[in-house]
Amino acid sequence: QVQLQESGPGLVKPSQTLSLTCTVSGGSISSGSYYWSWIRQPAGKGLEWIGRIYTSGSTNYNPSLKSRVTISVDTSKNQFSLKLSSVTAADTAVYYCARAEISVSYAFDIWGQGTMVTVSS
């Protein structure tokens, strides 16, 4: 059974870069049947799609974050990562990694448990 687990610092200072990693277990990230995404949720608010990566390395980003976001994949470690630069308090949120199955549904069928990131000095 495939599982996703986010990891990274829970506290980031303003203007610095937020870095998170999602580790995929129980399956290979190199499978061509999935996109790997990052999604965030500020406290008490809705979900915001940040971006996605395919195992080839091709990416798509939310236009509102595109200038600050980089998503990368490390197939040797079965991980993909998020970097968000120049963070502000508005970037404080629970960050989820999720898998989108693309052979049939394009749905986010598996999610990580989420990791809380606070931007504060």
Partner 1 sequence: QSVLTQPPSASGTPGQRVTISCSGSSSNIGSNYVYWYQQLPGTAPKLLIYRNNQRPSGVPDRFSGSKSGTSASLAISGLRSEDEADYYCAAWDDSLGVFGGGTKLTVL
Residues binding partner 1 (CB under 8 A): 37, 39, 46-49, 52, 60, 62-63, 96, 100, 104-109, 111-114
**Closest distance between partner 1 and the C-beta of residue 93, in Å?**
13
Given the complex with partner 1, which of 14 and 47 has the nearer CB atom?
47
Given the complex with partner 1, which of 55 and 62 has the nearer CB atom?
62
**Closest distance between partner 1 and the C-beta of residue 6, in Å?**
10
Given the complex with partner 1, which of 106 and 118 has the nearer CB atom?
106
**Closest distance between partner 1 and the C-beta of residue 106, in Å?**
6
3-state secondary structure (DSSP) of residue 63: coil
29: left (phi over 0), alpha (psi -120 to 50) or beta: alpha
Q: How far apart are the first and last CA of the chain?
A: 39
Q: In a 10 Å sphere around its CB, with 0-12 CB exposed, 13-18 middle and 19+ buried, how is residue 45 labelled?
A: exposed
- For residue 10, the number of C-alpha atoms closer than 13 Å in the C-beta half-sphere is 3
Given the complex with partner 1, which of 56 and 76 has the nearer CB atom?
56
